[in-house]
Copies of this chain bind each other. A is one copy, B any other.
Amino acid sequence: MQNLKFDSNGLIPAIVQDSKTKEVLMMAWMNADSLQKTQETGETWFWSRSRQEFWHKGGTSGNVQKVVALRYDCDGDTLLVLVEPAGPACHTGEVSCFYRMLEK
């Protein structure tokens, strides 16, 4: 974890990708403690910036994300979390939060 750079708020962006379909499911933020919880439990834990609290993905919905691998980028300032999701990542029911196309 000493290779990672957290921002001025102690956070690092975490991209979540389905390890099988390779679809990008969501992006959320982790702090050092939520990353540690993720590593210890084998499921994704984030830090909710709006609620200022830990957020166990799927803790309420049941759509937990089992961590298959944790990667980090060349700058050490972004995480890529490969997961097996138990259900849709998005609160809308879509598999991925990135279900909309940006029009020109």
Binding site for B on A (CB under 8 A): 1, 3-4, 13, 15, 17, 21-24, 26-27, 39, 69-75, 78-80, 90-92, 94, 97-102, 104
Pick the contact of A90 from B1, B26, B39, B74 — CB < 8 Å? B74
Q: With A21-B22, A27-B78, A71-B99 given, name 18 new contacts (CB 8 A).
A: A3-B100, A15-B24, A17-B24, A22-B22, A24-B80, A26-B73, A27-B73, A39-B104, A69-B101, A71-B101, A72-B98, A73-B97, A73-B98, A73-B100, A74-B90, A74-B91, A74-B97, A75-B97
**Smallest beta-carbon distance A89→chain B, Å:** 9
For A18, the closest partner residue in chain B by CB is B22
**Smallest beta-carbon distance A61→chain B, Å:** 14
Instruction: List 29 A-B pairs, Cβ < 8 Å.
Output: A3-B100, A4-B102, A13-B13, A15-B24, A15-B27, A17-B24, A21-B22, A22-B22, A22-B23, A24-B80, A26-B73, A39-B104, A70-B101, A71-B98, A71-B99, A71-B101, A72-B100, A72-B102, A73-B97, A73-B100, A74-B91, A74-B92, A74-B94, A74-B97, A74-B99, A74-B100, A78-B98, A79-B102, A80-B98
